[in-house]
Amino acid sequence: MRIRAALAIARANVVRLLRDRLGLFFIFVLPLIIIVVTGLQFGAGFVPRIGVVAVDVGELGDELVARLSSDDETGWEVREFDSIDGLTDAVERRQVDVGVALPAGYDEQLRAGGIADVVLLSPPGDTAIRYRTTLASVIGEQATVLRAATFTAGEGVAPFDDALATARSLQALLPGVSVRVTTAGEEFLPGELLGFGLGAHSQLILFMFLTSLTGAAQLILSRTLGVSRRMLSTPTPIGTILVGEALGRFGVALLQGLFIVFATMLAFGVDWGDPLGAALVVILFALVGSGAAMLIGAVANNAEQASGLGVMAGLGIAAIGGAMIPPEIFPPTINTVSHLTPHRWAIEGLRDLVSGGGIGSIGLELAVLAGFAVVLLGLATWRLRAALTR
């Protein structure tokens, strides 16, 4: 076994990949694009989005719209529309979850002691229920001062506008009836994972594996181009060649893994938890990926077959392993099957680290990943030796 020769083979593999511009795009740029897009989507968790039509609604109408978008009251993101038709289209296309339309002349109607009808536009299904109660409570708060003003004016004590002004100033002074919310229980997704974290963890795992598998085509290329046979004709022992090929795959996966970890840490402030633990997960997962790649490289017959197989397996296993959709929303059966993939174990390890765990608390995950690596690398070496010396 010659370490220098093995390293030279590994180096050639890594350099060949770095020269391919398309390869660079898929390895370094695409994962970041996807992390950014998923991060933007889950940035602050799910943000309810409502559309509002409020044309010629006066001061009271503007006040209601401001309340609807206030973080203290609803936390909704409000998009304004010019017409009820535009709003209806947006609701139908699910661009907003529901629509709220204030009647024109809202302010005058209410000041004249009349009744204003606010319309809640919602798609079929249970969407309306999710918004109705909150909407009613926001409207209720405005209705409170209006009621006080209407009542006072009706008692003949003072005109409406004066009564409204007094009611508003009194509302701030009254001890009032308040609601205090306290929380209990465990969070569905830990807060640290929201934003770019969730995407960064799963894309790291998805792409390291995917890149390794598509790299299997290179191995076959070496075989069909005769590079492997020429290497065998040199005094370099076959063990060294195998180690070199494995190291090459491992190097690429590790390089990509480190890039994603550091890029997301520096650019988006993604937390990766205990550095030693994260490093171990990344290294072991890179080994798993190299093993799988070499196995495909050894058993597939041509480069097209290998890359087709690689992409399919890479995406399919990632999906089941929870690297595309958070495993929290898996149905129970899929959740069980999911644990047959190395992805699931790697993701669970990474998450555990983020929620404050150290190497000690991810011992099981590390052991399972090491197991995958040993089995895959063992199988691959055996098959590849056979394929090379055939």
Partner 1 sequence: MIRSALIIARKDLRERIRDRTVLILGVAAPFALAAIFSLLLPSGDDALDLTVGFVDADGTEVSQAFRSGALAGVERAGIVEVTEYGSTDAAHGAVDDGEVGAAIVIPSGFGAAAQAGGEARIEVIANVSGGISAEVARALAAGYAAELEAVQLSVATAIQLAGSEPPPPAVEELAHRAGEIEVPIRLEDQATQERAVGATTFYAASMAIFFLFFTAQFGVLSLLAERRRGTLPRLVAAPIRPASIILGKAFGTFGLGILAMTVLVVASTLLLGAEWGNPVGVALLVVSGVLAAMGITAMITTLARTEEQAGGWNGIVAVTLAILGGTFFPLSQGPEILSRLTLITPHAWFLRGMDDLSVPTAGPLDVLPSVLILLGFAVVTGAIGLLRAGSLVVRR
Residues 51-75 as b/e (b if ≥16 CB within 10 A, e otherwise) read bbbbbebbebbeebbebbbeeeebe
Name the residue nearer to partner 1 (CB basis): 201 or 366: 201
State the Rg of the chain over Cα: 30
Residue 375 contacts partner 1 per CB under 8 A: no
Name the residue nearer to partner 1 (CB basis): 132 or 230: 132
Q: What is the rounded CA–CA span in Å between residue 357 and residue 374?
A: 25
Output the smallest distance, CB 25 to partner 1, in A.
Answer: 6
Residue 137 contacts partner 1 per CB under 8 A: yes
Cβ proximity of 293 and 314 under 8 Å? no
Name the residue nearer to partner 1 (CB basis): 279 or 299: 299
Q: What is the rounded CA–CA span in Å between residue 316 and residue 60?
A: 54
| Angle at 150 (CA atoms; ends 148, 153), nearest 5 degrees | 105
Residue 44 contacts partner 1 per CB under 8 A: no
Name the residue nearer to partner 1 (CB basis): 332 or 360: 332
Total binding residues for partner 1 by CB under 8 A? 102
Identity of the residue numbered 156: G
Residue 59 contacts partner 1 per CB under 8 A: no
Q: What is the rounded CA–CA span in Å between residue 100 and residue 116?
A: 13
Q: What is the rounded CA–CA span in Å between residue 107 and residue 84?
A: 18
Q: 178: buried, middle or exposed (CB in 10 Å: 19+, 13-18, 0-12)?
A: exposed
Interface positions, 66-95, toward partner 1 (CB under 8 A): 79, 88-89, 91-95
DSSP single-letter state for residue 156: T
Residue 53 contacts partner 1 per CB under 8 A: no
Q: Which of 115, 235, 266, 390 binds partner 1 (CB under 8 A)?
A: 115
Q: Which of 3, 15, 66, 133 binds partner 1 (CB under 8 A)?
A: 133
Q: Which of 158, 227, 299, 387 binds partner 1 (CB under 8 A)?
A: 158
Residue 330 contacts partner 1 per CB under 8 A: yes
Q: Which stretch binds partner 1 (CB under 8 A): 22-30, 240-248, 252-260, 276-284?
A: 22-30
Output the smallest distance, CB 2 to partner 1, in A.
Answer: 33
Name the residue nearer to partner 1 (CB basis): 131 or 272: 131
Q: Token match 């998805």: residue?
A: 206
Q: Which of 132, 225, 364, 374 binds partner 1 (CB under 8 A)?
A: 132
Question: CA dist 28 to 35, 256, 257, 354, Å?
Answer: 11, 7, 9, 23
Residue 390 contacts partner 1 per CB under 8 A: no
Output the smallest distance, CB 356 to partner 1, in A.
Answer: 17
Cβ proximity of 353 and 273 under 8 Å? yes
What the block records as the tokens of 177 is: 């009836």
Q: Which of 117, 233, 360, 390 binds partner 1 (CB under 8 A)?
A: 117
Q: What is the rounded CA–CA span in Å between residue 366 and residue 283?
A: 10
DSSP single-letter state for residue 45: B
Residue 123 contacts partner 1 per CB under 8 A: yes
Q: Which of 15, 325, 367, 386 binds partner 1 (CB under 8 A)?
A: 325
Q: Which of 10, 53, 54, 122 binds partner 1 (CB under 8 A)?
A: 122
Q: Which stretch binds partner 1 (CB under 8 A): 8-16, 144-152, 200-208, 278-286?
A: 144-152
Write each residue from 276 to 315 as x if it is in contact with partner 1 (CB under 8 A), else as -, in one continuous string.
----------------------------xx--x--xx--x
Q: What is the rounded CA–CA span in Å between residue 62 and residue 115?
A: 17
Identity of the residue numbered 33: I
Name the residue nearer to partner 1 (CB basis): 15 or 157: 157
Q: Which of 70, 147, 262, 378 binds partner 1 (CB under 8 A)?
A: 147
Q: What is the rounded CA–CA span in Å between residue 123 and residue 91?
A: 7
Q: Which of 114, 275, 356, 363 binds partner 1 (CB under 8 A)?
A: 114
Q: What is the rounded CA–CA span in Å between residue 242 and residue 246?
A: 6
